[in-house]
Structure formats: C-alpha cells, structure tokens
Structure 1
Amino acid sequence: MMRQVRALVAFVVITYLFFMVIPMVVLALVDNLRRVVGGPVWPGCPFNYLGAIAALVFGGYWVVESNLLLLKVGRGTSLEVAGRALAPTTTLVSSGVYSRVRNPMVFGYFTAFGLGIPLLQQTLIGLVVYPIFLVLYGLYLKIWEEKNLVLRFGDDYEAYCREVPMLIPALRSRSSSKEVRS
C-alpha cells in the first residue's frame, strides 16, 4: 500500500514539474533571452497556433502514456533525483510507446515544449534553447538513469537498449512477443 501511495505522489510531482514548473522557467528564460539578445519574432498566424496545439497534444500523449505504462506495467514511476529512484519500477516496461523509444516521456516533452512553446512565443530563440535542454537531459539519462536501469534489470535492459532507440522513436514498434519481464 505504501509503495502505491509513493508511486501516486511521484506521478503527481512528475506531472507538476514537467507540465508546470519546468515549462514556466524555460518560458521565462527564452522570453528574457529574446529581450536581451533580440532576434527575429515572426507575426502570429493561425498556422503557428495550430502547429503549437498539435505539438502540445502529440507530445502530451507520449508523456501521459509513458507515465501510465510505468504505473500500470512497471508498478512504479520515473521520478529520479541524481540517480536515486524514488518509486522505482519493478518490471522493465518495453511495450506500448516504450517499444518505439526508450524515453518516450522525454520525446513527448520536447515535442510539446521544444516545438509547441516556441511556436506560441513566435521566436527562433526557443527553437535553439530547447534542443540544448534536450542534449543536457540526454546526458543525464546516460550518466544516471540508464546506469541504474542496467543495475536493476541487467541483461534484459541491455538487450532492450540494443533494439530500441534512446530519444527518437522508431517508425515500427518492437515486437510485443519480445516483452521483457523481470
């Protein structure tokens, strides 16, 4: 029961961080950079807003779906601080969106906020700043998260890494018959 409560709290914290705190901080950073550095701002048009909404919805799907799979299949969450998982999954999740990319949450997050927000802000600076965050987060994943997943799931995770790309989804999903259990 306590593990379920921790998982639920972690899910709420992740959602709040990734959908409220981090985007607002980066929004403010990009806006302030645009004011200091200058740079082009393109006029608003319906295509900017439609593209932004599409990116936010598409990216949001990947984030929500990946979190739900972690809760349901993995029986844990992705909440991790400096390599310490707070409610770690007990089962390696390799189905659903995880059959296309090892980090669907990151892919969704950067689709939504790396493309959607700059379209809303109508500035090229956002299209430069967000990929920098993606690279930094990718390094974090390599240094902390993947190392811990190898320790937790061993050869199963290493085999999964060889078959599924890290950040950009494969067009075809990994065969569901290869579902890894631990």
Structure 2
Amino acid sequence: MTKTILIYFLSLIFFLVILPAITVASGLFLNKLLNLPQIVYLPYNWSLALIFIAFGAFWMGWSFYVLIKTGQGNPQEAFGKEILPAPKKLVTIGPYRYTRNPMGFGWFIIVAGIGIYLGSISVILIILPIVLMAVIFYLKYFEGKNLIKRFGDDYLRYRENVPLFIPGFVKKRHHDKN
C-alpha cells in the first residue's frame, strides 16, 4: 500500500508539476527568443485559463476514478512495463466512451490553460503540438500494443470505435492501427 501511494504521489508530481513546468518554460523561452507577443491579456487570460484548467482536471479525475473503479487497476505503466498492477478489465465507459486516453486529453487541456494564463503563443502553437505528437506516438506504439496483448479482440473493437485522443470531435480513420 505504501509503494502504491508513493507511486501515485510521484506520478502526480511528474505529470502535474514537472512536465507542465518543462512544457511552459520551453514555451516562455521561445516567446522571449522569438520576441512574440502575448495572445490573451489580463483579466481575460485568468478566466479563460481557469475554464481550461478546470475542464482538464475534470477529465483527468473522472478517467482516473473510472479506471480504478471499473478496470480494477492502475494507470501507471511506462513503455509497456507495469509500475503498478494494470487494470484487469478493459474500460469503455465514462470518459473512455469518448476517447481512449482521457487522462492525456485532460493533461493537454490543463497545460493549454496554463499557456493561456501566461499568454504564451509558443506554448499553445509550438510546444503543445510537439508534445501532442510525442504523446500520440507513445500511445500508438507502446500503450496500444500492450492493450492489444492484454485485452485482444475486445480492445481491437474498442479501438475501431473510439478516437485515440480528442474526444468525439474527430472521426476515427479506418486505417488507424492504434
């Protein structure tokens, strides 16, 4: 139990503090380097950022809860290796009806909110798209393969019907293999 709590704590620190800080710092560095203006100004950036951050946090929390409650496992894995016991059941309800990676989607929205708060063009238009491509690569070539091994045809059917990352706004391409 102590190991599980420690891993959750370290994961929260990594995904909600360290990774966003690196993402935002990179964007702010590019803003300065390229002498780019702010995109949203006070007080509008606070309001808009709060909406984004709350929406992203909702998606992350909802998906985490549903994964543990329904899937009976933990979302902690890295490059196909379990850090904590993986979910025993394929979860296709709750936020998983809309996207195969609602936690990643939520995180992306939170960091976009931070970029809006800071008024950073680079965070929104340069850094986040690069991060999104890296996340999609990871999901397709590491996590997806692991889910196929674990859940077989059930996951393949699920994959055919649910978008990889952006919930319900993008139709699934039939030739996508993950």
Q: Which residue of 1 aligns with 2:45?
A: 48
Q: Indicate the SS of the match to 2:166.
A: coil
1:69 aligns to 2:79 (yes or no):
no
String of CA shifts for 1:149-174, please: whole Å, max 9, x gaps: 00000000001111111111126xxx
Aligned residue type for 1:15: L
Q: Identify the residue that residue 128 of structure 2 maps to in structure 1.
A: 130
Are the counterparts in 1 of residues 39 and 116 from structure 2 also a CA contact under 8 Å? no
Q: How far apart are 1:33 and its partner, in Å? A: 1.7
Amino acid at match of 1:13: L
Tell me, in whole angstroms, the C-alpha distance in 1 between the residues paired with 2:5 and 2:162: 27
- Contact 1:7–1:76, Cα closer than 8 Å, also in 2: no
Indicate the residue corresponding to 1:104 in structure 2.
Answer: 102
Q: Does 1:80 align with 2:77?
A: yes
Identity %: 31
| CA displacement, residues 100-133 of structure 1 (integer Å, 9 cap, x when unaligned) | 11100111111111x2011111121111211210
Q: CA deviation at 1:14?
A: 2.5
**1:103/1:167 contact within 8 Å kept:** yes
Q: Distance in 1 between matches of 2:87 and 2:167?
A: 22
For the 8 Å contact 1:10–1:77, the answer to whether it is kept is no
In structure 1, list runs of 5 or more residues that go unmatched: 172-182
> Whole-Å Cα distance in 1 between the matches of residues 141 and 65 of structure 2?
25
Gaps spanning 5+ residues in structure 2: where? 170-178
1:7–1:71 Cα contact (<8 Å) kept: no
Contact 2:26–2:123 under 8 Å retained in 1:
no
> Given the alignment, which residue of 18, 22, 26 partners 2:23?
26
Q: Distance in 2 between matches of 1:73 and 1:6?
A: 22
Deviation at 1:39, TM superposition (A): 1.3
Query: Which stretch shows the higher mean deviation, 71-80 or 48-57?
Result: 71-80
Summarize deviations over 1:133-161 as a string: whole Å, max 9, x none.
Answer: 01111001001000000000000000111
| Map of 1:94 onto structure 2 | 92
User: Which residue matches 1:176?
Assistant: none
Deviates more, 1:64-73 or 1:131-140: 64-73
Relative to the length of structure 2, the TM-score reads 0.86
Counterpart residue identity of residue 152, structure 1: R
Give the letter for the 2:89 counterpart: T
